[in-house]
Structure 1
Amino acid sequence: MKKVAIFGGSFDPIHTDHVNIMKACHEKLGFEEVWIVPAYVNPFKTLSSSSVTQRLEMINIAIKGLDFIRLETFEVRKHERSYTYDTVCHFQKSYPDIEFSFIMGSDQLDSFENWDHFSDLIKSIDFKVFLRSDVYNKDIVEKYNLETFTFENNFLSSTKIRNLEDLNLQIKEVNDYVNNKLMFLYERVESKMDEERYFHSLNVGQEALLLAQLNNYDLNKALVAGTLHDVAKRWTIDEMKSFIAKYDKSLLSEPEPVLHSFAGAFHLKYDWLLDDQEVVDAVFKHTVGDKEMSTLDMIVFCADKISSERNYPDVEKYRALVYSDLKTGFISLLEQQYNVAVKKHGPNSIGQKLIETYSYWVKGE
């Protein structure tokens, strides 16, 4: 009889340890197939951070080339809370010629007896428990005579991934997908910002999207760069300086109000592992620009200054300029920013980068 392991969970997102557990099922426990069954909504969670489509797409990315893994959408097709007992009954009834086991992580042992129809479930299928940490509920293991197994364990969790922890151990292609889809913004950005700054960031993302459309530029790249431009804006000055010092101490001589752009760029590159250098550069340059400004650099620079909530004098004039010609609008906004900075801080306190950018683009030097 064919042996199949059922592996359920939220997979929000799927990560390296999920895949390593499935590999161990196939390579060490002798299962011919592993059926990964994402839940529509985990019964013990009130909300899933990702859409069903996103989770399915991430799973397909993670299992590419692993022919022994089969993605089963039984639970997500139901569009309601998922219960393991219903899933097990469905598969056992639909495939009577298959011997099923159910895979679970040891972190689920504490709530195991609270699973729906538990007394029937524990009798209906064999459970295989993979040890996610050294500390687990041994009483439950002994009470139900559960088998436990080890695997190539990176001690990851979806919660850690959502909160930017241990991303170097995550599946790169899945992490790239998350970054490109701007997923988990609440955990990664909103919770570290005040509401006004968060909505400004969303507005800049939408403005950048519009400017990308007007300039025949990559829409998603513009949306990502615009939305994330102020990712470090609400860090303390000490946090910014400490972070910048790890990568380029020369930037510490720049004025404090612009440090968030440098810290944000480094944060995206080294903490988010965002490997699109064009996006990182656009975040880096969005406050004071540079002699070298790509289309994306100009889009994000301008979008930040003319986003929908901006209402300073002449903002409509600048919007019209940017919409009609991106480069002309950028130069006008740069000149305005330079003049405001000089008036507010004096010509000797506006930072070398803004002076260099202004000299090149406005004065033609």
Structure 2
Amino acid sequence: MKKVALFGGSFDPIHTDHVNIIKSCKENLKFDEVWVIPTYLNPFKHLSYSSVNQRLEMINIAIRNLNYVKVDKYEVSKTERSYTYDTICYFKNKYHDIEFTFIMGSDQLEKFEKWDHFDELIKAIDFKIFKRDDNYDKNILNKYNLKLFDFENNHLSSTEIRNLGRLNLQINEVNEYVNNNLMYLYERLESKMTQERYFHSLNVGRFALELGMLNNCNLNKVFMAGTLHDIAKEWDDKCMIDYLKKYDPSLLNEPDKVWHSYVGAFHLKHDWYINDDDVISAVYKHTVADKNMSVIDMIVFCADKLSYERNYLEIEKYRAIVKSDLELGFKELLKRQYEFAIIKNGENKIGSKLKDSYNWWIKND
């Protein structure tokens, strides 16, 4: 009789430890197959942070080289809260020629007896428990004679991943999918950004997307860079100084008002593990531009200055110019920014990068 391990969970997102448990089921526990069963909504959780399709796509990315694993959509197709007992009954009634075992992490033992129809559930199927950490309910383990198994454990959690924790241990392709789709954005930014700044960032992403369409640009890149451009804008000076010292101390010579663009680029590259040079460049250059500006760089620079919540004299004129001729609009905005900076701070305090950009694009034009 074929032996199949049922592995349920939110997988929001799936991560390295999930995959290591799956591998251990095959290599150490000798199951013939592992069926991954994403839940529509865990009964003990109030919301999911991503769509069903996104979670399914991330799971498929993570298991694509494991031919003994399949994804079953039984629970997510129900579009309601999922209960393990119902799932077990469904599989046992449908597949009489398969011996099923249910896989769970030791972190779930504390609430195990609160699971729906628990008395029937514990008799209906064998459970294998994987040790997530040393803090687990040993009484429940002993009471029901459950077996505990070790695996290659990084002690990751989906909550930690959503909050940018130890992404160096996450599955690279899944992390890339998360970044490219700007998933978990509010959760990652809410503690570091005011609501006003957050909505400005969304507006910049939206306007960058519009300009990207007009200029036949990679829409995913402009949307990412536009939305994330101000990610470090409201960090305190000490944190920004630490980043600049670590990655490029020469930038400390630039005015502190523009530090956030450089720090934001470093943060996205080294903490979010965004490896797209076009996105990083656009964030880096969005404040005072640069002598070398790609179309994506120009788009994000302009979208920041013209986002839809902004309202200053002649802004509609600048928006119209940028939409009809991106480079001309970029130059107009750069010239405006330079002139305002001179008036506000004086020529000696505007920073070398803004001067270089102005001299290259405006003065020498």
TM bracket, shorter-chain basis: over 0.9
In the alignment, what sits opposite 2:330? 330
In the alignment, what sits opposite 1:287? 287
Q: 1:331 Cα deviation (Å)?
A: 0.4
Instruction: Name the CA distance, whole Å, in 1 between partners of 2:226 and 2:107.
Output: 38
Q: 1:352 Cα deviation (Å)?
A: 0.6
Task: Confirm or deny that 1:361 pairs with 2:355.
Answer: no
Superposed CA offset, 1:179-225 (max 9, x none): 00000011211332111100000000000000000000011111111
- State the secondary structure of the residue aligned to 2:265: helix
Superposed CA offset, 1:225-253 (max 9, x none): 10000011111111111112110000011
Task: Confirm or deny that 1:171 pairs with 2:171.
Answer: yes
Instruction: Name the CA distance, whole Å, in 1 between partners of 2:51 and 2:73.
Output: 14
In the alignment, what sits opposite 1:57? 57
- For 2:307, give the aligned amino acid: S
* Runs of 4 or more consecutive aligned structure 1 residues displaced over 6 Å after TM superposition: none
In the alignment, what sits opposite 1:201? 201
Instruction: Name the CA distance, whole Å, in 2 between partners of 1:245 and 1:116.
Output: 54
How many pairs align? Answer: 365
In the alignment, what sits opposite 2:22? 22
- For 1:276, give the aligned amino acid: D
- For 1:71, give the aligned amino acid: V
Instruction: Write the mapping of 1:23-172 to structure 2, written as runs, cut at 5 A.
Output: 23-172=23-172
In the alignment, what sits opposite 2:235? 235
RMSD: 0.7
Q: Which moved more, 1:79-88 or 1:240-249?
A: 240-249
- State the secondary structure of the residue aligned to 1:246: helix
Instruction: Name the CA distance, whole Å, in 1 between partners of 2:204 and 2:72.
Output: 39
- For 1:297, give the aligned amino acid: D
- For 2:334, give the aligned amino acid: L
Superposed CA offset, 1:69-127 (max 9, x none): 01000000000000000000000000011000000001111111110000110010000
Instruction: Write the mapping of 1:238-257 to structure 2, written as runs, cut at 5 A.
Output: 238-257=238-257
Instruction: Name the CA distance, whole Å, in 2 between partners of 1:304 and 1:104.
Output: 47
- For 1:322, give the aligned amino acid: V
- For 1:336, give the aligned amino acid: R
Superposed CA offset, 1:244-292 (max 9, x none): 2110000011111110101100000000000101100100000010000
In the alignment, what sits opposite 2:305? 305
In the alignment, what sits opposite 2:345? 345
Instruction: Name the CA distance, whole Å, in 1 between partners of 2:68 and 2:52.
Output: 22
Q: Which moved more, 1:127-136 or 1:172-181?
A: 127-136
TM-score, normalised relative to structure 1: 0.99
Superposed CA offset, 1:308-327 (max 9, x none): 11101111111011011000
In the alignment, what sits opposite 1:184? 184
Instruction: Name the CA distance, whole Å, in 2 between partners of 1:41 and 1:361.
Output: 53
Instruction: Name the CA distance, whole Å, in 2 between partners of 1:237 and 1:191.
Output: 16
Q: Which moved more, 1:325-334 or 1:235-244?
A: 235-244
Structure 2: state its 5+ residue gaps: none
In the alignment, what sits opposite 1:321? 321
- For 1:256, give the aligned amino acid: D
Instruction: Name the CA distance, whole Å, in 2 between partners of 1:41 and 1:199.
Output: 28
In the alignment, what sits opposite 1:11? 11
Instruction: Name the CA distance, whole Å, in 1 between partners of 2:235 and 2:215.
Output: 33
- State the secondary structure of the residue aligned to 1:151: coil
Identical aligned residues as a percent = 64
- State the secondary structure of the residue aligned to 2:103: strand
Instruction: Name the CA distance, whole Å, in 2 between partners of 1:217 and 1:191.
Output: 32
Q: 1:136 Cα deviation (Å)?
A: 1.1
In the alignment, what sits opposite 2:277? 277
Structure 1: state its 5+ residue gaps: none
- For 1:194, give the aligned amino acid: T
Instruction: Name the CA distance, whole Å, in 1 between partners of 2:357 and 2:88.
Output: 64
TM-score, normalised relative to structure 2: 0.99
- For 2:187, give the aligned amino acid: E
Instruction: Name the CA distance, whole Å, in 2 between partners of 1:191 and 1:39.
Output: 28
- For 2:194, give the aligned amino acid: D
Instruction: Name the CA distance, whole Å, in 2 between partners of 1:160 and 1:108.
Output: 17
